[in-house]
Chain A
Amino acid sequence: MNAPTTLTRREVLARLSVLLGGALIGGDTWLRGAALAGKTSGRDFTPEDIALLDEIAETIIPATATPGAKAAGVGAFMAMMVKDCYDDAHHAAFQTGLDQLRREGFLAASPAERTARLNALDAEQQRHQAAKTPEQPAHYFRMMKQLTVLGYFTSEIGASQVLVYEEAPGRFDGNAPYAPGDRYPFTFPSRNL
């Protein structure tokens, strides 16, 4: 039998983007190893948590000419993914970060203040990522950013309004023209590294 090289090819590309300075949606914050319990021991997310996550997501990917992350349901997506897919250390770090943003009054802040705060957090997570040991959990904002991008571009809005999603393209053109501003064909998410 043959290895499923369709996946290998996708893996190849994911790895390459890591070499180019880090895949945004890579394995660095994803759960690792097989020795995890099947269920998280972390606390559940409340509707208030999800409302706050929606605003964070919308700040990361705002509505422009196309809808933003809130319209794509990214807040609930993030909560579900953290609960289902992350190890306990990342789950706890994410919750702590979310609580901190709540205490800081993120919801009361203006759009400009929100953007400034999250840009500062993004710089912070990049410094943390560069300095941390492989065993240390990622910065909570790295998770928020990754999950927002993943949730948004794989949502119906992201994949079919911002990008072009065709279930059955029915043709292959390996040399199609592309001009700046054109939408490009959706690419499937990489598997975890």
Chain B
Amino acid sequence: MSVSTHSYDAIVVGSGISGGWAAKELTEKGLKVLLLERGQNVEHIAGYPSTLKAPWELPHRGKKSRELIAEHPILNRDLLHEANADWWADDRDCPYTEVKPFDWFRGYQVGGRSLLWGRHSYRWSDFDFEANAKDGHGVDWPIRYADLAPWYDHVETFAGISGSLEGLPQLPDGRFLPPFELNCVEKDVAARLRSQFGGHRRLIMGRLANLSQPHAGRVNCQFRDKCWLGCPFGAYFSTQSATLPAALATGNLTLRPFSIVTRVLYDKDAKRATGVEVVDAGTHQTVEYKARVVFLCASAFNSTWVLMNSATDVWPDGLGSSSGELGHNAMDHHFRVGAFGVVEGYLDRIVVGRRPGGFYIPRYRNLFGDKRDYLRGFGYQGAASRLGWEREVPELGIGAPLKEALSAPGPWVIGMTGFGEILPYHENRLTLDRSRKDKWGLPVLAMDCEIKDNEWKMRRDMQDDAAEMLEAAGMKSVRKTSAGYNFGRGIHEMGTARMGRDRKSSVLNAHNQVWDAPNVYVTDGACMTSGNCVNPSLTYMALTARAADHAVSELKKGNL
């Protein structure tokens, strides 16, 4: 083992949405920062090999080959695509144990899943921050909306979030760029829903981290609908398009790809972290890096994995385990139930341009006097569009009639899928499976998580309400859908190192500091105390920027 030591002011572990923000904020405040990423580097633009390819330039036109499936057994459960398969973790090198079925879709490269995310960006409200305290599930959040609101302002202003101002108490407005546009069918459905459900069910344009106008030196969206291949215009928020260039511009950033952080180095006398241990993914050599503060932003469950492997001489179950909560209270969003319908008419209308996201229906259940037989709620994402050449027209057989039919657009259709909150169950947990090792000989995570009665009841509503709304809006042939759900498939992993008010029942305090090592901050999904039903990334951005500000302030005061 070769050991070399390098010192920085701060180390950030992981370069996705949270890690990119940590690197930007800390370097801009003058700290010398080492940003560690376990996977390969992906250069902005030059590293997006598929993004400018025409459909006919993809060998299988986007379909999966047997070879690709064999290489990506986990990713194949949902998101495998030949155009970006390299941007996901190698399932064979990086196994995990499914005590119960669990889909873990990981982005192991510089930028992480910021390159791949859905970009829907919503603020939490006090309905969410107060939810645990009110119904007794989990522990109380140590912060409220007022604590985070200025940081939402801060991150939205930089990231560029397009959205409409709606005045909804459950989905606070923010500092938005102009919204993208609902199409003609969606606008009419929105108007009908608004009049038929007392104003409580609102169909709005999704709030997206895509630029509706030029912003901060980045080009606006060109309506290609290829975000998931990387945007050469930098028109959606990613580490590459936004936070990494800002951090590099300070001259204070060192980026080190192929660096798997195996543990936080811990000084048990000082009760502080001293740095991290890294295994080089290529050479398998171990290197130590020192710093005064460490930010864990390795994605929710990997940050927890690092904690579980750290300071085991003091706490056998790892740094942060003194609370008994490390690895517990895992959450995701359950989804893939909803409804579809056929839209009559609008045959003289069509959509031009490929919008980067669809509509959103914010939560309305268990709010404003509504009371269901389950707790919390859900929102919907969906879209209306005209069917194209893929539709079946069985009566036309083959030949010129078939060609002519498919050369014209089909009927309009509309569909929506609910995204529901999962309660923070103590028994939904991750553990280290020491019997199984990854490519680098490191123990793997074992996932033991499931949705329970509250979520199953909610899913019934997610289906029924979707059908009810589409029928109320005049849609035809409305069908409920259920495509099944494995824990993790929402790719909104949250919890397992939750924030709280008491070190006896939480891993992190109100500033995302590990209670047992105040110079270790965890600001990705691991910190979440409850899950809400909205896409979580914007909240990670805000929490990360807030924690970075706190860390620098504490460093100046000599408290870390």
Contacts and interface: CB of A to CB of B under 8 A. Distances in A.
Interface of A: 1-9, 12-17, 19-25, 30-31, 34, 36-40, 59-62, 64, 66, 68, 80-81, 84-87, 115, 118-119, 122-123, 126, 145, 149-151, 153-156, 158-160, 162-163, 165, 167-192
Interface residues of B, number: 106
Contacts of B224: 167-169
Contacts of B180: 172
Contacts of B481: 15, 19
Contacts of B12: none
13 contacts: A2-B535, A3-B489, A3-B491, A9-B358, A9-B383, A12-B383, A31-B66, A84-B66, A118-B399, A119-B399, A168-B224, A176-B352, A191-B81
Interface of B: 16-17, 52, 54-56, 59-67, 69-71, 73, 76-77, 79, 81, 107, 112-114, 116-120, 180-184, 186-187, 222-225, 227-228, 233, 299, 333, 335, 338, 340, 342, 347-358, 381-383, 385-394, 397-400, 402-404, 406-409, 413, 415-417, 477, 479, 481, 483, 489-493, 525, 535-537, 540
A163 B56 CA distance: 13
Contacts of B228: 4, 6-7
B183 to A, nearest CB: 3
A15 B414 CA distance: 11
A12 B184 contact: no
Contacts of B492: 1-3
A64 to B, nearest CB: 6
A172 B536 CA distance: 27
Given A20-B477, A122-B398, A145-B398, A155 B223 contact: no
Contacts, number: 296
Contact of B54 (A36, A126, A156): A156
B390 A178 contact: no
Contacts of A21: 392, 394
Nearest to B232: A168
Contacts of A37: 66, 70
Nearest to A180: B408
Nearest to B71: A38
A12 B397 contact: no
Contact of B118 (A5, A34, A159): A5
Rank and list the top 3 A-B pairs by shortest CB-CB distance, nearest first: A174-B183, A5-B118, A172-B353
A23 B403 contact: no
B64 to A, nearest CB: 6
A149 B393 CA distance: 12
Given A145-B398, A189-B390, A190-B390, A84 B67 contact: yes
Contacts of B348: 177-179
B67 A16 contact: no
A158 B389 CA distance: 10
Contact of B417 (A12, A40, A145, A168): A12
A47 to B, nearest CB: 20
B209 to A, nearest CB: 9
Contacts of B66: 31, 36-40, 84-87
A59 B399 contact: yes
A37 B224 CA distance: 35
A26 B66 CA distance: 17
B353 A1 contact: no
B56 A154 contact: yes
A162 B225 contact: no
A158 B224 CA distance: 18
A185 B352 contact: yes
A162 B403 CA distance: 9
Contacts of B113: 1-2
A159 B61 CA distance: 12
Contacts of B107: 1
A38 B70 contact: yes
B352 A173 contact: yes
A186 B225 CA distance: 12
